[in-house]
Amino acid sequence: LFREKLGITQDIDFITHKPANAVDVRAYEHEDGPGPDTDNIAFDLARNHKSLWNTFILGFLLRELQLCCVHETWPICKDDNYIEEILQERYKRLRTLWRNAQPKLTATGSIETPAEQEARLVKESQRLGKESRQTTHRRNKYRRRKAVLDGIVAMKSEVPDDDLRSWKWLQRLI
């Protein structure tokens, strides 16, 4: 849905999103303007998902997804509230990503140059990648240890052994 309507395939593609014109948003909220263009969706990234503008867009995306569900005869169609919550969470993630990608003030008080901005984003991406790899490594290490202990306890349970209690204790500990 986001690929089709916003032209993004991954979340990182959203950093180039052009936000809605503030004048149009203000006009829509004061009932003086036409509202969001459904052919060229632009979120009001200055506000959260509860703003009138963003609520309209998220409602439009919800209706489009439900139409796809009906037209393509998906075997499972979810409740509107469930999908709406998922869309809101996705918007929050995309908005955070977009805001983090915007130029920041440097220590000297000037705005980052595009090169500094890119370096900051690459550094942050590398940090997140490292954290992800460490977490995956720790999770896999735990699973391997658990599988070994389960096997040892199963093997020791078949033939009664005096150290079975110790292995069960270690299994509970892990």
Torsion region of 41: left, alpha or beta (phi above 0 gives left; psi -120 to 50 gives alpha): beta
Each residue's pLDDT tens digit, 116-171: 999 999 999 999 999 999 999 999 999 999 999 999 999 888 887 788 889 999 99
Contact 158, 167 (CB under 8 A): no
φ, ψ at 39 (rounded to 5°):
-85, -25
Nearest Cα residue to 29 out of 8, 56, 11, 2: 56
pLDDT category at 31 given cuts 50, 70, 90 is confident
Contacts of 60 (CB under 8 A, 6+ apart): 36, 38, 41
pTM, 2 dp: 0.71
C-alpha atoms less than 13 angstroms from C-alpha of 106 in its C-beta half-sphere: 11
Torsion region of 35: left, alpha or beta (phi above 0 gives left; psi -120 to 50 gives alpha): left
33: its two tokens: 């303007």
C-alpha span between 7 and 162 (Å, rounded): 64
Can you give the pLDDT at residue 85?
94
